[in-house]
């Protein structure tokens, strides 16, 4: 994985610090061209991996990338699924089965319906889960998706419920069908690592908050430090700036000193901010150490 | 270990189940829901003991506490049965639709010394707790007015029918959304002495309200305005905000931040200065052991567990007694809204008193 991954919160009005700022961003990125403009900035600054929610609007970004293969030949999508709101709304509007039908992949309605219908009847989550993954992956057809993530809302819900097998089903399907690495986003890193190990998912890619002030590092700061030191997994640090509570230089300097972090995911809305983050990382995280 | 059961596995129940199941000092001994399908899937993959019959579960499973997350119309009966079995009860909001029944259940819980809590999670949001701290310190001096708002995108087209779209079941914007800002108002100001100008309006729903507005009157001449709309797509998710005006300044708070303007910081908690002060969620939020969907959801359940462990029934945050205040306010709004406008355009208006003209312009 690249050391720097680009996130998408800023594009969809997600800001953990201020609702005013979130709204201003939502307005600015109303036009898909504005999103693509910032992605171009990131790409030209050498930040070529995009960790993105499977939001409807990302489909438009995908179309743009497919239409310009030369320009974006090194661009990588790292889809994060599911976009939960989409399902919540669809289930309210069309009911469970109607919603499933709406998200069927293109492989042939009959096949998908069989997989979905049979699984529903047998209460077999494997069929339903793989079907939903395929539906979410539809928009990325023909694009490069080396890592596919399960979103924290789902990961942590399953984790709390003790629905452990779901992680293995997700991992297996993503590997087999998409030849991609499974990734897991969580707010409860130490606890998740135990369960992934138990499920035989080796050296998993796990993305979690890792920041100097311990913001949303549930299970405790020390447990995270220990996990980074002692556990075998590929860590991606998110919320490194703790929504702006830590100054950029201080935040990057600290995170670059932590052991075993493979990547940092960050969001930015301007080329200047993208560049300064990249420069800070170059400065505090020399390439040799990371090789 | 506290042995607990979760009843009702809808949106709230399932996430309560996940969060409380992750609690190191709690064992979820059973879950109960009317829909067998969800239960069977959960049982198959997590091995949890499941029931479709609430009374059978109470009779068969050894329990210390229950979380009740069924539609509000079912709360009364279930809460009573649980209390009678001497179980501590965490119940989802709104508590009960009938205030008299709520008062009875409050008495029963108090009599038995059982922990009784309702899921008004706003009281566990760091920013709203900071507002409470400022109010208790009298940082704004004499308060004159408050504005409590909640907006979000729940019902966006005339379709779909679940219990949430029926007011008789405890659904609708008033019960589901407005209950939260009302609960904050009663936390900060106490119970209102009256309400007026209430509007419960439909936008898309056939059987319930989608927007709620009202004026609340409190002791000492204070007033509050309530503005709530759950059909507002410009909000990404439910968003509650509070503004309070006092003689010494103004407080604005939402889930992310608290903005405080103080004309004079003397008397305000340490760290506050004259003029603008901003506190962010990152500094106001206490970390939780397990995070699912916002710290407040985890911490209200952890608080419930701690109250049980401490044997401190009845004087807890969001007790039944406190929640009945919110329920009563909701009933007042319904009664008021039915009356419609208090003054009509066709009504005879009192004649404005003419002022006596003074010599030149002097008379006022």
Nearest to B223 by CA among B244, B248, B252, B254: B244
Sort B219 into a burial class: Cβ within 10 Å, 0-12 / 13-18 / 19+. exposed
Number of Cβ atoms within 10 Å of the Cβ of B231: 19
Backbone φ/ψ region at B254: left (φ over 0), alpha (ψ -120 to 50), beta? beta
Q: What share of chain A is helix, strand, coil (3-state, %, to 5)?
A: 55, 15, 30
The answer, for A217 touching chain B at a CB cutoff of 8 Å, is yes
Kindly determine whether residue B282 and residue A215, on different chains, have CB atoms separated by under 8 Å.
Answer: yes
C-alpha A172/C-alpha A150 separation (Å) is 13
Please report the pLDDT score of residue A110 as a whole number: 56
φ/ψ (deg, to 5) at B244: -130, 130
A 69-128 residues with CB below 8 A of B? 85, 92-93, 123, 125
Nearest to A185 by CA among A7, A2, A3: A7
C-alpha B102/C-alpha B123 separation (Å) is 20
Please report the pLDDT score of residue A122 as a whole number: 66
Chain A environment of B40 (Cβ under 8 Å) = 123
- Name, in order, each residue with C-beta under 8 angstroms of B65's C-beta and a sequence gap of 6 or more: B2, B3, B4, B5, B87, B88, B89, B90, B115, B304, B308
Cis peptide before A82 (omega within 30 of 0): yes
Q: DSSP letters along B298-332, please?
A: HHHHHHHHHHHHHT--SSSTT-HHHHHHHHHHHHH
Give the three-state DSSP class for B284.
Answer: helix
Kindly determine whether residue A159 and residue B18, on different chains, have CB atoms separated by under 8 Å.
Answer: yes
C-alpha B350/C-alpha A41 separation (Å) is 67
Name the minimum distance, in Å, from the CA of A91 to any CA of chain B: 9
Kindly determine whether residue A216 and residue B287, on different chains, have CB atoms separated by under 8 Å.
Answer: yes
What is the token pair recorded at A224? 């995270």
Please report the pLDDT score of residue B357 as a whole number: 64
C-alpha B114/C-alpha A103 separation (Å) is 47
Chain A environment of B287 (Cβ under 8 Å) = 214, 216-218, 220
CATH superfamily, region B2-120+294-328: NAD(P)-binding Rossmann-like Domain (3.40.50.720)
Chain A environment of B45 (Cβ under 8 Å) = 125, 163, 165-166
Question: pLDDT grade, residue A21 (50/70/90)?
Answer: confident
C-alpha B69/C-alpha B28 separation (Å) is 15
C-alpha count within 13 angstroms, C-beta hemisphere, residue B272? 25
C-alpha B254/C-alpha B217 separation (Å) is 23
Chain B environment of A217 (Cβ under 8 Å) = 287
Tens-digit pLDDT profile for residues A187-196? 999 999 999 9
Above 60 in pLDDT, residue A233? Answer: yes
Inter-axis angle of helices A84-102 and A109-122, nearest 10: 110
Place of tokens 């007015």: B145
Inter-axis angle of helices A189-198 and A152-161, nearest 10: 70
Tens-digit pLDDT profile for residues B270-328? 999 999 999 999 899 999 999 999 999 999 999 999 999 998 766 789 999 999 999 99
Tens-digit pLDDT profile for residues A65-111? 999 999 999 999 999 999 877 776 666 566 555 666 666 655 555 56
Chain A environment of B240 (Cβ under 8 Å) = none
Nearest to B34 by CA among B72, B71, B63, B65: B71
What is the token pair recorded at B149? 């708002």
Place of tokens 């499973």: B61
C-alpha A88/C-alpha A105 separation (Å) is 19
Q: DSSP letters along B107-137, please?
A: HHHHHHT--EEE--GGGGSHHHHHHHHHHHT
- Topology classification of domain B123-291: Dihydrodipicolinate Reductase; domain 2 (3.30.360)
Chain B environment of A214 (Cβ under 8 Å) = 287
Instruction: Determine contact, residues A185/A152, Cβ cutoff 8 Å.
Output: yes
- Name, in order, each residue with C-beta under 8 angstroms of A189's C-beta and a sequence gap of 6 or more: A206, A208, A217, A219, A223, A224, A227
Beta bridge partners of B196: B215
Residue in chain B closest to A89 (alpha carbons) equals B154
B 6-35 residues with CB below 8 A of A? 14-15, 17-19, 21-22
Give percent above pLDDT 70 in chain A.
Answer: 86
φ/ψ (deg, to 5) at B250: -145, 145
Please report the pLDDT score of residue B312 as a whole number: 78
Above 80 in pLDDT, residue A206? Answer: yes
Nearest to A193 by CA among A174, A208, A177: A208
Q: Do domains B2-120+294-328 and B123-291 have the same CATH topology?
A: no
Please report the pLDDT score of residue A291 as a whole number: 42
Residue in chain B closest to A213 (alpha carbons) equals B282
Place of tokens 């629905």: A163
The answer, for A165 touching chain B at a CB cutoff of 8 Å, is yes
Please state the domain extents for chain B: 2-120+294-328, 123-291
Nearest to B311 by CA among B168, B112, B121: B112
Please report the pLDDT score of residue A290 as a whole number: 46
Chain B environment of A160 (Cβ under 8 Å) = 17-19, 21-22, 290, 292
Regions in chain B scoring below 50 on pLDDT: 363
C-alpha A40/C-alpha B226 separation (Å) is 45
Kindly determine whether residue B282 and residue A92, on different chains, have CB atoms separated by under 8 Å.
Answer: no
Kindly determine whether residue B22 and residue A159, on different chains, have CB atoms separated by under 8 Å.
Answer: yes
Please report the pLDDT score of residue B300 as a whole number: 97
What is the token pair recorded at B355? 């002022």
């Amino acid at each position: 994985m690249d050391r720097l991954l680009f996130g998408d919160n800023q594009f969809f009005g997600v800001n953990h610090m201020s609702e005013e700022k979130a709204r201003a961003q939502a307005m600015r990125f109303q036009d898909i061209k504005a999103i693509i403009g910032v992605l171009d900035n990131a790409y030209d600054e050498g930040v070529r991996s995009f960790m993105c929610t499977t939001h409807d609007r990302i489909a438009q970004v995908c179309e743009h990338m497919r239409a310009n293969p030369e320009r974006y030949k090194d661009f990588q999508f790292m889809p994060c699924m599911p976009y939960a709101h989409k399902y919540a709304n669809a289930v309210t509007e069309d009911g469970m089965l109607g919603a499933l039908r709406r998200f069927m992949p293109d492989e042939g309605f009959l096949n998908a319906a069989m997989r979905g219908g049979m699984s529903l009847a047998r209460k077999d989550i494997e069929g339903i889960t793989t079907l939903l993954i395929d539906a979410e992956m539809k928009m990325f057809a023909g694009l490069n998706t080396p890592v596919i993530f399960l979103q924290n809302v789902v990961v942590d819900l399953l984790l709390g419920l003790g629905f452990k097998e779901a992680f293995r089903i997700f991992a297996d399907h993503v590997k087999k069908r998409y030849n991609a690495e499974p990734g897991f986003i969580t707010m409860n890193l130490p606890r998740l690592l135990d369960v992934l190990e138990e499920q035989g998912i080796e050296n998993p890619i796990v993305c979690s908050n890792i920041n100097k002030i311990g913001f949303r590092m549930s299970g405790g700061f020390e447990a995270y430090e220990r996990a980074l030191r002692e556990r075998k997994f590929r860590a991606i640090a998110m919320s490194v700036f703790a929504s702006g509570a830590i100054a950029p230089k201080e935040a990057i300097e600290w995170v670059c000193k932590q052991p075993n972090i493979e990547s940092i995911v960050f969001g930015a809305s301007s080329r200047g901010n993208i560049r300064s983050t990249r420069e800070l990382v170059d400065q505090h995280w020399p390439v040799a150490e990371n090789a | 270990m506290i042995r607990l059961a979760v009843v009702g596995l809808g949106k709230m129940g399932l996430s309560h189940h996940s969060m409380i199941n992750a609690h190191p000092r709690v064992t979820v001994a059973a879950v109960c829901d009317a829909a067998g399908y969800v239960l069977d899937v959960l049982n198959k993959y997590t091995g949890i003991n499941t029931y479709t019959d609430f009374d059978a579960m109470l009779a068969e499973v050894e329990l210390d506490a229950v979380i009740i997350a069924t539609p509000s119309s079912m709360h009364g009966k279930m809460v009573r049965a649980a209390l009678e079995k001497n179980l501590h009860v965490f119940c989802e909001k709104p508590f009960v639709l009938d205030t008299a029944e709520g008062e009875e259940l409050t008495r029963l819980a108090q009599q038995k010394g059982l922990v009784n809590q309702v899921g008004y999670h706003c009281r566990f949001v760091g920013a709203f707790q900071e507002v409470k701290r400022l109010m208790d310190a009298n940082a704004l001096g004499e308060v004159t007015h408050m504005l409590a708002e909640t907006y979000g995108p729940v019902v966006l087209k005339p379709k779909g029918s679940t219990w949430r779209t029926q007011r008789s079941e405890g659904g609708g914007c008033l019960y589901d959304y407005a209950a939260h800002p009302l609960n904050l108002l009663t936390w900060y100001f106490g119970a209102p002495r009256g309400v007026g100008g209430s509007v419960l309006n439909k936008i898309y729903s056939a059987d319930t309200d989608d927007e709620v507005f009202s004026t609340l009157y409190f002791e000492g001449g204070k007033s509050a305005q309530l503005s709530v709309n759950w059909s507002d797509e410009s909000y990404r998710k439910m968003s509650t905000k509070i503004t309070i005006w006092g003689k010494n300044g103004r407080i604005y708070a939402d889930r992310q931040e608290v903005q405080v303007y103080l004309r004079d910081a003397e008397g305000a908690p340490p760290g506050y200065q004259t003029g603008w002060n901003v506190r962010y969620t990152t500094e106001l939020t206490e970390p939780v052991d397990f995070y699912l969907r916002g710290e407040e959801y985890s911490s209200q359940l952890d608080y419930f567990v701690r109250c049980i462990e401490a044997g401190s029934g009845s004087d807890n945050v969001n007790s039944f007694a406190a929640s009945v205040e919110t329920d009563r306010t909701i009933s007042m709004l319904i009664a008021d809204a039915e009356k419609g406008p208090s003054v009509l355009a066709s009504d005879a208006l009192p004649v404005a008193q003419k002022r006596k003209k003074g010599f030149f312009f002097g008379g006022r």
